[in-house]
Amino acid sequence: MKYGITLPPFGDFADPLALAQLATDAEAAGWDGFFIWDHVIFDPSFHPIADPWVGLAAVALHTRQIRLGTMVTPLARRRPWKIARETVSLDRLSAGRLILGVGLGDPVQWDYGFFGEETDARTRARKLDEALDILAGLWSGEPFSYTGKQYNIPEVRFTPRPRQTPRIPIWVGGWWPNRPPLIRAARWDGVCPGKWGATLTPDEWQLIMEIIRTHRTSDTPYDFVHAGATPGENPAAATQIVEPYRELGITWWIETVDPWRFGWDWEAQWPEHGAKLMRERVLQGPPRL
């Protein structure tokens, strides 16, 4: 099992240099991955927010080994050819350490609706599926064309290719117990599901794994990515929380590091000491067994 953190690049961490310093601290503390949220607007309190690609570029330049990426990028509100350019540049800048997390994106009323973007879930899902196919085609570096219901591209060729082969890994998110995101995830390299207002249990994960394996058509390595929270000051208790997931075959434990894990309101600005508590949890290191 590998261990990463995910956090919103909001508040104090809307400064790319502060985000890069936190990633440097995370790498030194023994974390294997550093993943940030991808939002334009998150809630009606209008948090300061960093652009994920600028923020991750700063992270890439200040770290050497830790994997980095988004959890998750809502592809339906981004042009896939623009994402293709940004992700290849970031993958090469980081020497092949990028993982792209994707999903429909929430909260839809803010991240999409505020700017008049498409909010219908089915339409966004169709855009997501087509965008994923387009990304894979553009990343190939070979002549590529696409005809779909959402996007049409005459033959083009995108170079350079990513550092990673055969391509940048893609993790697909979605809310449990919805099945379509899991079926989508089976086509790619990993699944990072969530459960609204709660943490997925090992029993629920067993069902998720069964769905994924039923729909997998490839025997390439695959990541099962669990998001949870452990007490950094109590390694024994953290071990008890993580162990059932490790035994089940979860490949990544992603520690959710945000002020809301400490009990604050989702639709309110962070308190002054919110970033301090987040940094403390990062410095305490991963819940390794």
Q: Domain boundaries in the chain?
A: 2-283
Contact 46, 83 (CB under 8 A): no
The angle at the Cα of 218, spanning 213 to 224, to the nearest 5 degrees, equals 45
Poorest-confidence range of 137-141, 204-208, 263-267, 282-286? 263-267
2-283 CATH fold: TIM Barrel (3.20.20)
Per-residue pLDDT at 271:
78
**Dihedral class, residue 24 (left if φ above 0, else alpha if ψ from -120 to 50, else beta):** alpha
Q: How far apart are CA 186 and CA 24, in angstroms?
A: 32
> What does pTM read for this prediction?
0.96
Position 113 confidence tier, pLDDT thresholds 50, 70, 90: confident
